[in-house]
Structure 1
Amino acid sequence: MNNNVQSATGLGSLYWDNQNKAPEEKSDELTQEDFFSLLTQQLSYQDPSKPADNDQMIAQMTNFTMAEGISKLNENFNSLAASMTSNSALQASTLVGKKALLESETIELYSGEVSKGTVLAKEPVDNLSLTIKDDKGQVVEVVDLGSQPAGAIRFEWDGLDKDGNPFPPGEYDIVAEGSINGEYSSLPMATFKNIESVNINGANGIIVNTKEGAVKLAEVAEISV
């Protein structure tokens, strides 16, 4: 009995919802049917001795058709923009948890993972080395990369000390130095940062958020798992 009562109540609710719906408001927009109705009225009241110019009638019809076409085109563009925004949000969500290659002076070390990065050299460099320091400023590792050609120089750090013991996970300072044309100097670097979240920001597109801050996806050099 209880099930029957609940079922009947549900149907009654649906019925009264339909009965109580407000009448649909009529649109003030001039449709093609309205236009031809007005055009017919115009022809019926015209002076037979001064009939309407065919060119004027054709111009009116053309203008109305163009206006209607532009209106529909705008609707289609709005629908396309909404669809693209939805697709962008879906694609952006897949970036969370991956790593973005960003210009940085630090490198992130994760338990059981090899940390990677890139030294950016505009010219060939000799005696290139990486100095890695902990949060207390103590040197924990020096990586010798030797002589390297100009370009993006990839490197890896296993995060292990000389005895093979892992350093604590966290963020470490890293400096790249080498000799270019006989002059010893530091070089810019890029390391992989964990993507914590992403935003869809209108004209700015997809924004990637890491510990380094927010950056446009278009400015990210590389994405890694």
Structure 2
Amino acid sequence: MATLPISSDNTDYMQAMQQAGNTNKAAPKDELGQADFLRLLTTQLQNQDPNKPMDPTNFVTDLTQMSQLESTNKMNSSMQAMTAGLQSMQVMQSASLIGKNVQVNADQMTHTQGEPSQIRMELDQPLKDVTVVISDESGPVREIFMDDLNAGEANPIWDGNDEAGNPVASGEYKLTVYGMDDKDELQSIDTVVPSQVNSIAIGDDGAVTATLATGERVKMEKIREISA
């Protein structure tokens, strides 16, 4: 069998290669459109048994369902495009927060050695034996006992010392705050801490999140206060 020489001016060879590589043109459509459905319906009518004609009501019902399905698919595509556009707009608007100081619902706080740190707490109900536990990577460094508190906001101040009265190093510290309710059940308490926004991103669930200076990621609704 003779072999066709390969050269830049061999148009037959180039055309054969292009046809072999372009499989999309030769591939049949995976989905039936409304026009295809109508052609099938017409063919079915032409080949039906005259003694047992098909019910025309079924034709109308099938056609209506096809139209509704096509409209739904178009609407879904439009909604997805709209959602993507809104997310992009929200990210661009939230980008103005980068570098800003914020007060945010979180359990990580930044402490500077030698300076006191104020802790904001929000109680949904009156609690007794309220305790604030401040921890680093090695474990608890200080516990602050606040006795009984009413519902609302409380602002204990940590002097920056450990249990032995020694100043702790600057860095990130975790807050754990809890108390007992009127049924003697343990309840956690939300804390509001100062931080800085380092970056903005879209989370896996589509929500816009802010990455704080502590490395913690929070949703935008967790930010309570913004300052320059």
TM-score, normalised by the number of residues in structure 2 = 0.51
- Contact 1:95–1:195 (CA<8 Å) still a contact in 2? yes
Q: Which residue of 2 aligns with 1:35?
A: 37
1:215 is matched with which residue? Answer: 217
Q: Using the alignment, how far apart are the partners of 2:106 and 2:39 within structure 1?
A: 66
Decide whether aligned partners of structure 1 residues 39 and 94 sit closer, same or farther in structure 2, where only a CA change above 3 A counts: same
Tell me how far apart the structure 1 counterparts of residues 51 and 226 of structure 2 sit (CA, whole Å).
Answer: 80
Q: Equivalent residues in 2 for 1:136-175 (5 A)?
A: 150-153=151-154
Q: Is the contact made by 1:100 and 1:195 (CA closer than 8 Å) also made in structure 2? A: no
**Alpha-carbon offset, residue 77 of structure 1:** 2.7
CA contact (8 A) 2:104 2:193 kept: yes
How far apart, CA to CA, are the structure 2 residues paired with 1:79 and 1:107?
A: 40
Confirm or deny: 8 A CA contact 1:119 1:189 kept in the other structure. yes
Distance between the aligned counterparts of 1:216 and 1:72, measured in 2? 34
Return the letter of the residue paired with 2:104: L
Q: Is the 8 A contact 1:101 1:223 kept in 2?
A: yes
Equivalent AA in structure 1 for residue 71 of structure 2 = G
Letter in 2 for 1:151: G
Which residue of the other structure, out of 65, 76, 79, is the alignment partner of 1:77?
79
Find the aligned partners of 2:222 and 2:193 in 1 and give their Cα distance.
11
1:104: how far off? Answer: 4.9
In structure 2, distance between residues paired with 1:223 and 1:25: 57
- Counting matched residue pairs gives 160
Offset, 1:41: 2.4
Q: Which runs of 4+ in 1 moved over 3 A?
A: 24-27, 102-109, 119-125, 153-156, 170-173
In structure 2, which of residues 101, 104, 125 is the aligned counterpart of residue 101 of structure 1?
104
Task: Give the CA deviation at 1:217.
Answer: 1.4
Aligned counterparts of 2:81 and 2:190: Cα–Cα separation in 1 = 44
Question: What SS is found at the alignment partner of 1:203?
Answer: coil
Q: Any unmatched runs of 5+ in structure 1?
A: 1-21, 110-114, 126-147, 157-169, 176-186
Deviation at residue 224 of structure 1 after TM alignment: 0.8
Query: Judging changes above 3 Å, is the alpha-carbon distance between structure 1 residues 55 and 124 closer, same or farther for their aligned structure 2 residues?
Result: closer
Structure 2 CA distance for partners of 1:46 and 1:195, relative to 1, 3 Å = same
What is the alpha-carbon distance in structure 2 between the residues aligned to residue 117 and residue 60 of structure 1? 65
1:57 aligns with 2:59: yes
Distance 1:154 1:105 in 2: 16
Percentage of identical aligned residues: 22
Please state how far the C-alpha of 1:218 moved relative to its aligned partner. Answer: 5.0
Unmatched 5+ stretches in structure 2: 1-21, 129-148, 158-169, 176-188
The answer (yes or no) to whether the contact 2:98–2:200 under 8 Å persists in 1 is yes
Residue 116 of structure 1: how far off its partner (Å): 7.3
TM-score, normalising length from structure 1?
Answer: 0.51
2-structure distance, mates of 1:94, 1:119: 27
Instruction: Provide, for residues 169-222 of structure 1, a one-character-per-residue CA deviation record: whole Å limited to 9, x for no partner.
Output: x7698x9xxxxxxxxxxx985321011112211216222212322232156250
CA distance in 1, matches of 2:190, 2:51: 86
Q: Which aligned pairs between 1:170-189 and structure 2 lie closer than 5 A?
A: 189=191
- Matches of 2:201 and 2:90, distance apart in 1: 10
Structure 1 residues 150 and 41, CA gap change in structure 2 (3 angstroms): closer
> CA-atom RMSD, angstroms?
4.5
* Residues in 2 aligned to 1:54 and 1:172: alpha-carbon distance in whole angstroms: 74
